[in-house]
Structure 1
C-alpha cells in the first residue's frame, strides 16, 4: 500500500483550505479599505461643496460692492440762493391772512380787532351783531445775510397793512440789522416782549399783553448758553409827551431746564409835558413751561407807573393837573394760558388776561378837568379801573402752509367814572376766525 499518496492529498487539501481562508481574509480587508476610501471621498466632496457655496457668497458680495462703487452718487439738489445787486443773500417769506370777527355784543368802534379798553358802556352806543373782515394782517418779509470782513451781518425787513387808525395802511413791522451782539433798527421792544403771551387769533392780542415794536439800539451779553442780558435804548413813540430822551430797558433771560424759560425786565423813561417832567418806570416777569411734551404753560406779569406806550390797552400814563404838575397812572397786569398740541395738525389754547389800575382821585380829577367842553363823556369815563378777557381757540393745519383758526373771547371793562347813561361796565363778546397761507 502506497502511504505517500494519502499524505499528499491531505497536504493539498490543507493548502486549498488555507488559500480559501486567506482569500476570504484578503477580500474582507479589501472591502474595509474600500469603505474607508468611499467615506473619505464623501467627506472631500462635501468639503468641496461647502467651498463652492462660500465662493458663490463671496462672489455675490464682491459684485454688489463693485456695483456700489461704479454707481454714481445721487446729486444733491442745491437750494436756490437769491442775491441782491450788492451780493447779499436773501429769502422772501410771508403769508396771506384773512380775519373775520362777529361781535355778539359790545364795542363802540367798527374794528375787526381787539379794543377792550374802549368798548361801549352798557346803554351807551353799543354796536352788537356786527360782522367784520379784513386782510390787513397779511405780511411780507425779507431776511438778508452778507459777510463784512470776518463778521456776518444780518438784516430783516417785514411789513403788513395794519397801519393807520383804521388798520388799512402799509406799515413797518420790523426793519433792523444784526452785527455781532448789536442790533440797530425797529423790532419787538426789549421790555414788552410777546414771547410769554398765550396764543391768540386776534392780531392785537388781548388784555395784559404787549405787541410793541420800537426803534432801538440794543446789545446782548451772553454769560452762558443758558443766560444772557439784553440792554437797549428805545424810542417808544409816546405821543402824549414831549420826548427828549430814549427809554432805557433791560431784560435778563435764563433757561433753568430744557422745558423752563424765564425773563425778568425793567424800564425807565422820562415823561415831559411842556416844562414839567416825571419819571416813568416798570418791571415785568415772564415764564414759559413745557409741562409735558405737547402741553405748554405761559404767563406774563407787568407793574408799570406813568407809562402807556409799552403795554397795550392802558390809560394815559401822565395827565396834567390844573396847577401844571403831572399825575401818573399805575397798574398791574397779568396774562396766563395753556396750549395743548393734540397732534401735528391740531392745537388749542385757553387764556386769561387781567389789568387793574390804582384808584387815584387826583388822576381822575385831572382827567375830568382835561375833558374838552364839547365832549359829552369825560376822559374819566373813557379811562378804566379794571379790564379782563378770557378766550379759547383752536387751530387746524391740514398741510404745512395752511392754517385755520376759530376763537371765542369774552371780556369786560369797568370805567373810572360812569357814563351819562349811568353805565359803568362794558362787555366784549366776540367770535374770531382766521385763515392763513404761509409761504
Structure 2
C-alpha cells in the first residue's frame, strides 16, 4: 500500500494555512457585518425622518383647518359692519352736523290768558279778573320747531367750533324766523349770541312751556366770553353782553361773571353777578344783580334744582319782571328791585318716563317813587307766583310727548276799574316733539 508519509514540517505548514484561511474567513464575515449594519441603520433613520415630516405636514394641515373654522365662526357671530355716513363739509373744509326737531305745542286756557295767539307763559301780563280775560280757549303753534347746525374746523393747532340755531318764535304772530344761537368758540373764547352768562337756564326745573315760568330766564345775548379753568371742578366765566334794553340809551355793554363749581358728581353750584349802566339823556343809574343756582341728584334718578336772583334796576336778563327803570317827571331815573326763586324736583321713573313738580315766586320792592312814576299801575306787579307739574313720555328716542298743568297768579300795584288787582293763569299744556 502506497501511503504518503506526512512529515512534521508538512503538518505544521498545513495547520498554519488552515488557521490563516479561518482567520481570513472571519475577517470577511466581520467586514460584511460591519458593512451591512450601517446600511440598515441609515434606512431606519431615513424612514423615521419621513414619518416625522409626514407628522409635521399633518399638524400644519390641522392648524390651517382650525384657523379657517375659527374665521368662519367669527364671520357668523360678528355683525355686519355699519356704514357710517361721512360728516358733511363746506367748501372751506369745515365739518357740519345738522340737527333739529318738529314741535307741536298746545294749550287750553281755563282761566286768565293774555295774547290770544300765544300758548306760552304770560303770567306778568295776564288780565286782571273781570277785565277782558281770554278764558276757555285752545291755542296751538309749531313756532318752537327748531333747526340747527354745529360746525368745526382746524385753525393752526386749535379747533374753531360753533353753532347756528333758529326757530320761528319771532314776532307777535309767532311765525317769524329768529336766531336762537349763533356763535363760535376758539380756545377759551366765545363770540356770538347764546345763553346769557348771568341768567343761565341750567338750574330751572323742567317745563313744557317754551318760555319757562316765574323765577327762570331764557335770555340769549350777543356777547364776548372768556372761560378760566382753575381745576377740572371749578371755572370762572367772564362776559361782556348786549342786553338790548330798549328802555334806556345804551353806551356800554353789561359785565357779567359766573363762578361754577362741582362739589361732587351729583352736586353743582353756580354763583353769578351782573353790572350794567342804565342811561337816558338826563340821568344815569347803575343796575346790578346777583344769582345763585344749585343742582343736586338726591338719589339716582331724582334731581333737585333751585335758582335765586336779586336784581336792582334791570329787566333785561330775568324773565317776567317789571321795567328795570322808569323816568320821573323831572327826567331822573328810578329803579325797580326784586327777588325771585324757582325750585323743582324731577323724577326719572324709567328710561321712557319722567316727571317734574316746580314752584316759582317773584316779589318786587314797593318803592313809592317807582310806583308813582308808572304810567299804568295795573301793568306792574307786586308779586308773581306759579306752580306746575308735568310728565314726559318717550316711547322711542326721537319721539317725546308731554302733559303739564300750571296755576299762577299776579298781584298788580294798581287796581282795575272793577277794583281787581289780581290776575290768574290756569291752564293745561301739551307737547309732541320729533327730534332728528
Residue equivalent to 1:329:
336
**Does residue 167 of structure 1 match 2:174?**
yes
Q: Select which of 82, 90, 112 maps to 1:106.
A: 112
C-alpha deviation, 1:360, in angstroms: 0.6
Provide closer, same or farther for how the CA distance between residues 313 and 61 of structure 1 changes in structure 2, counting only shifts above 3 A.
Answer: farther
Report the 3-state secondary structure (helix = DSSP H, G, I; strand = E; otherwise coil) of the residue aligned with 1:280.
strand
What pairs with 1:360-379 in structure 2 (closer than 5 Å)?
360-367=367-374, 371=375, 379=376
List per-residue Cα deviations over 1:150-197 (Å, max 9, x = no partner).
100001000000011232210000000000000000000000000000
Residue equivalent to 1:43:
none
Report the 3-state secondary structure (helix = DSSP H, G, I; strand = E; otherwise coil) of the residue aligned with 2:303.
strand
C-alpha deviation, 1:75, in angstroms: 4.5
- Cα pair 2:313 2:325 within 8 Å, conserved: yes
C-alpha deviation, 1:362, in angstroms: 0.6
Structure 1: 5+ residue runs without aligned partners?
1-57, 372-378
TM-score, normalised on structure 2?
Answer: 0.83
Residue equivalent to 2:284:
277
**Does residue 238 of structure 1 match 2:235?**
no
**Does residue 204 of structure 1 match 2:211?**
yes
**CA distance in structure 2 between the partners assigned to 1:262 and 1:60 by the alignment:** 65
What pairs with 1:13-412 in structure 2 (closer than 5 Å)?
63-68=65-70, 75=81, 77-110=83-116, 111-367=118-374, 371=375, 379-412=376-409
Q: Select which of 396, 412, 417 maps to 2:414.
A: 417
**CA distance in structure 2 between the partners assigned to 1:158 and 1:398 by the alignment:** 26
**CA distance in structure 1 between the partners assigned to 2:70 and 2:224 by the alignment:** 56
Give the CA RMSD over aligned residues. 1.9
Residue equivalent to 1:26:
none
Provide closer, same or farther for how the CA distance between residues 147 and 125 of structure 1 changes in structure 2, counting only shifts above 3 A.
Answer: same
List per-residue Cα deviations over 1:224-254 (Å, max 9, x = no partner).
1000000000000011111000000000000
Structure 2: 5+ residue runs without aligned partners?
1-59
- Cα pair 2:282 2:331 within 8 Å, conserved: no
Residue equivalent to 1:50:
none
Q: Say which one has the larger Rg.
A: 2
Report the 3-state secondary structure (helix = DSSP H, G, I; strand = E; otherwise coil) of the residue aligned with 2:308.
strand
C-alpha deviation, 1:66, in angstroms: 4.9
C-alpha deviation, 1:123, in angstroms: 1.1
List per-residue Cα deviations over 1:80-128 (Å, max 9, x = no partner).
2110111100011000000000000012321211000000111111110
What pairs with 1:427-438 in structure 2 (closer than 5 Å)?
427-438=424-435
Report the 3-state secondary structure (helix = DSSP H, G, I; strand = E; otherwise coil) of the residue aligned with 1:230.
strand
**CA distance in structure 2 between the partners assigned to 1:128 and 1:60 by the alignment:** 85
**CA distance in structure 2 between the partners assigned to 1:121 and 1:102 by the alignment:** 19
- Cα pair 2:114 2:122 within 8 Å, conserved: no
**CA distance in structure 1 between the partners assigned to 2:121 and 2:62 by the alignment:** 72
Report the 3-state secondary structure (helix = DSSP H, G, I; strand = E; otherwise coil) of the residue aligned with 1:355.
strand
**CA distance in structure 2 between the partners assigned to 1:249 and 1:155 by the alignment:** 21
What pairs with 1:3-18 in structure 2 (closer than 5 Å)?
none
Report the 3-state secondary structure (helix = DSSP H, G, I; strand = E; otherwise coil) of the residue aligned with 1:311.
coil
Report the 3-state secondary structure (helix = DSSP H, G, I; strand = E; otherwise coil) of the residue aligned with 2:377.
helix
